Amino acid sequence: MAILRLKASTLMETLIASIIIFIIFVIAIEIINNVALRNDKQSHFKMRQEVNEIRYKASTNRLKLPFYQRSKDWDILVYREDEFKILELKILDTEDLIKYSISNENF
């Protein structure tokens, strides 16, 4: 029976290899994180853009009330309450509800 002998690595070689693996891991995590954040920012930009457009239309009386719009990520509801128009934005992922009060003086 032949015994296979492997050359042992020194402590320095092991440390350098561990550091290289760690650096590659950190770089990969940062790349994944940046891609995820960019997609999230694009989604929030679209949502803000849509809300601003609806607020403008509501304040200039170009929107028939009550108004309801459903999207993949959020629901928008605009209705009249006393002399103000209320815009409710419900983010579906987190179930957050954001309310805006819209008057004709806003724009």
Range of the domain at 27: 18-102
Does 50 reside within a domain? yes
Contact 89, 106 (CB under 8 A): no
Question: Cβ contacts of residue 71 below 8 Å, gap of 6+?
Answer: 50
pLDDT at 18 over 80: yes
Taking the model in full, what pTM does it have? 0.54
pLDDT at 63 over 60: yes
Does 27 reside within a domain? yes
Does 8 reside within a domain? no
Q: Number of structural domains, the chain?
A: 1
Instruction: Please tell me the distance from the alpha carbon of residue 50 to that of residue 16, in angstroms, as a whole number.
Output: 51
pLDDT tens by residue, 77-95: 888 887 778 888 888 777 7
At 106 the pLDDT is 46
Question: In sequence order, what are the beta bridge partners of 81?
Answer: 84
Contact 86, 100 (CB under 8 A): yes
Does 107 reside within a domain? no
